[in-house]
Amino acid sequence: MKANTQAAQPVPGRKAGTNRFWFVFKQQKLLYLMSMPFVAWVIVFQYVPLWGWTIAFQNYKPARSFFEQEWVGLKHFRELLQDERFYLALKNTLAMSVMGLIVGFTVPILFAVLLNELRWKKFKSLTQTISYLPHFVSWVVVAGLVYKMLSLEDGGLNQLLMWLGAIDQPIQFMAKGEWFWGIVVLSDLWKEMGWNSIIFLAAISAVDPHLYEAAKVDGAGRWRQIWHVTLPGIRAVIIVLLILSIGNLISIGFEKQYLLGNHLVVDYAEVLDLYALKYGLQLSRFSFGTAIGIFNSMVALLLVFTANALFKRYSNESVV
């Protein structure tokens, strides 16, 4: 029955005029019902906070309505640019995100290439499976493990270094500011290396095996095969992912810095988001905190554009 009525209706494409929209709308009302509530959802939770950027230009008082707020222009931004700690946070943010991008991008490629060269398949899949594992545990757990491994009394690294005779005295890694950037970047690498290599491995498996045969016949050793066959073979994927991870520079985040940092290394651990949390939210200086947030977004955008421009300049590929 229902099928009949549907078939009897004119096909939307044939019907012209202003009624067409409402006609299709009626026909697709279920599709609208399935998507519009969620669109409203997204607007509330993702777009409304953008409107909140206006409070960076006010002396925001929570008790007042929007029209009663006192507008102060760029006052909070000027205050921000005069604060020494802001520049510290900016420096740390830039340093850790750039170091993280370089290390966090190249090592997984290397790891994937070397995994691919393993001949014993069982060992290969075991290594692969285990290497994903840290990706799934939280930063809280990872920070706990890092503290444990680097601790003074019972830390695995100190024990190893003492055993090797590299040091006579255990080092208090977590209390030394100059180690902090390295610790953040390396623990990030520990957590994500295996996971980030999945996609490169997949790309490598798509490389034509005949190319390896041909390279072997030409007398290429393993390193030469990697250099002349594997890496060029996954070049396209590398470039796509590089662009994507440059895009991810936006989400520098602060989880690692918050969890791994402590008061002794604060001069190296404070990033822009933490700065906003500490000097904005926790002190209820909402306007100042929002100004930091806006600045953070601007820095992120700047990073992306700079990276993208450099990339365009030094590679022959045309991207974005």
Partner 1 sequence: MAQSKPYSRLNVSDRLFDIGNVLFMIVVLIVTLYPFLHVLALSFNDSVDTVRGGITIFPREFTLENYKVILTKDSLLTAFVVSVSRTVVGTILGLIACSMVAYTLSRRDFQARKLVSVILLLTLYVSGGLIPVFLLFRDLGLLNTFWVYVLPGMVGAFYVFVIRSFMDNLPHELQESAKLDGANDFGIYARIILPLCKPVLATIALFLAVGQWNSWFDTYLYNGSSPHLTTLQFELVKILQSTQTSIEQARFNNVAQQAQFVSPDSIKMAITIVTIVPILLVYPFLQRYFVKGLTLGAVKS
Residues within window 67-106 making contact with partner 1, judged by CB under 8 A: none
**Binds partner 1 by CB under 8 A, chosen from 77, 250, 267, 311:** 250
**How far apart, in whole angstroms, are the C-alpha atoms of residue 170 and residue 153?**
8
What does the per-residue mask of binding to partner 1 show for 156-195, with x meaning CB under 8 A?
x---------------x-xx--------------x---x-
3-class SS string, the chain: CHHHHHHHCCCHHHCCCCHHHHHHHHHCHHHHHHHHHHHHHHHHHHHHHHHHHHHHHEECCCCCCHHHCEECCCHHHHHHHCCHHHHHHHHHHHHHHHHHHHHHHHHHHHHHHHHHCCCCHHHHHHHHHHHHHHHHCCHHHHHHHHHHHCCCCCCHHHHHHHHHCCCCCCCCHHHCHHHHHHHHHHHHHHHHHHHHHHHHHHHHHCCCHHHHHHHHHCCCCHHHHHHHHHHHHCHHHHHHHHHHHHHHHHCCCCHHHHHHCCHHHHHHHCCHHHHHHHHHHCCCCHHHHHHHHHHHHHHHHHHHHHHHHHHHHHCCCCCC
Of the two residues 91 and 124, which places its CB atom closer to partner 1 in the complex?
A: 124
Smallest gap from residue 144 Cβ to partner 1 (A)? 5
Q: Is 55 in the site for partner 1 (CB under 8 A)?
A: yes
What does the per-residue mask of binding to partner 1 show for 264-283, with x meaning CB under 8 A?
x--------x--xx--xx--
How many residues interact with partner 1 (rule CB under 8 A)? Answer: 107
Smallest gap from residue 130 Cβ to partner 1 (A)? 6
**Binds partner 1 by CB under 8 A, chosen from 35, 106, 306, 315:** 35
Smallest gap from residue 145 Cβ to partner 1 (A)? 4
**How far apart, in whole angstroms, are the C-alpha atoms of residue 178 and residue 268?**
7
**Binds partner 1 by CB under 8 A, chosen from 14, 17, 18, 46:** 46
Of the two residues 100 and 194, which places its CB atom closer to partner 1 in the complex?
A: 194
Smallest gap from residue 222 Cβ to partner 1 (A)? 4
Of the two residues 140 and 167, which places its CB atom closer to partner 1 in the complex?
A: 140
**Binds partner 1 by CB under 8 A, chosen from 8, 38, 63, 163:** 38
Q: Is 314 in the site for partner 1 (CB under 8 A)?
A: no
Backbone angles phi, psi at 302, to 5 degrees: -60, -45
Residues in region 117-156 near partner 1 by CB under 8 A: 117-120, 123, 126-127, 129-134, 136-141, 143-145, 147-149, 152-154, 156
Q: Is 238 in the site for partner 1 (CB under 8 A)?
A: no
